[in-house]
Amino acid sequence: MLECEVVVNSMAGISISEDVLKQIIDQVIIECTVQSGKKEIPIESSARHVHLCQRDVDALFGKGHQLTPKRELSQPGQFLCEERVTVIGSKGTFNHVAVLGPVRPESQVEVSRTDARQLGVKAPLKESGDIEDSPGLFLHSGKGMVQLEKGVIIARNHIHMTRSDAARLGVCDKQEVDVKVETDRPVTFHKVLVRVKDSFSLAMHIDFDEANAISLPAGAKGELIS
C-alpha cells in the first residue's frame, strides 16, 4: 500500500489533464488492489419493484405524466418514484409496489421466487431487461390499469461495475463469477453475472429471498473469488 501512496503523493503540484489524471488514478487503484489481494464488493438487496415504459405511465397516471423522483438510488441516474402501483396476479396481489425511474423502453416487474408464487405467475430467472418468454399480469394505480403481456421476471443476482472496476477485479462484461459472503449464515453465490458500464456504481444486487436466507446485514460486502 505504501507504493500506492508514494505514486499519489508524487503527483502533487503537477499539471495534467483530467483524462490523464483519471487514468493514473484508475491504475493506482488497480495496483493497490493487487497488493492487498482483496476483491470486495458492496452487496445490496432489492425488494419487488416495477419499471415502466412511458406508454404505461400514461395509462396508469394520465397522458404525459412524468415520474416523480422521491430519492436517488445507488446506481447513478436511477431513482425511487413517488408513484406506486398495485401488482395483480392470478392468485394474489401486492399493494403499494415501488416504481423505479427513469422510464424504460418496456415495462418490467421484478419479484422474488416467493413473490411469484404468491402472485400465481411462473416468473423465469433472467437478466434484468430480458423479458422475452416471461409472463404478464395487471398493474393498477387508482387512476388507471394496464395489462402486461410479458415482463414479470426474477432478476439474476448480478454485479454493477465500471470498466475501471472490471480491470481492477480482473473480470469482463457478461462474465459469471463466484462471490463469497461472510454473515451469520455464510454462503458463496455462484454464476453471478458481471455487468460493466461506466455509468454504473460498484454493487452486487440480490433479491429479498436471497438476502433473508443469508441474514444479510446493512453495509455487507462480498469477496469475488473467481
Confirm if 27 and 19 have CB atoms less than 8 A apart.
no
Cα(123)–Cα(115) distance, integer angstroms:
9
- Predicted local distance difference test score (pLDDT) of residue 38: 74
Give the pLDDT score at 21.
65
Place of cell 501512496: 5
Cell 406506486 appears where?
Answer: 84
- How does pLDDT run along the chain (226 residues), one tens digit per residue? 444 444 444 445 556 766 666 556 655 654 554 445 679 999 999 999 999 999 999 999 999 999 999 999 999 999 999 999 999 999 999 999 999 999 999 999 999 999 999 999 999 999 999 999 999 999 999 999 999 999 999 999 999 999 999 999 999 999 999 999 999 999 999 999 999 999 999 999 999 999 999 999 999 999 999 7
pLDDT given for residue 16 in this prediction: 73
Say how far apart CA 65 and CA 101 lie, in whole Å. Answer: 13
The H helix count followed by the E strand count for the chain is 6, 15
- Domain positions in the chain are 1-37, 46-155
Close Cβ partners of 19 (under 8 Å, ≥ 6 residues apart): none
pLDDT of residue 226: 79
Supply the pLDDT for residue 225: 92
**Is the alpha carbon torsion for 114, 119, 120, 126 positive or negative?**
negative
> Cα separation of 66 and 77, whole Å?
15
Between strands 125-126 and 158-161, the pairing is unpaired
Hey, is 27 helix, strand or coil? helix
Q: Is the peptide bond before 124 cis (omega within 30 degrees of 0)?
A: no
Nine-digit cell string for 60: 396508469
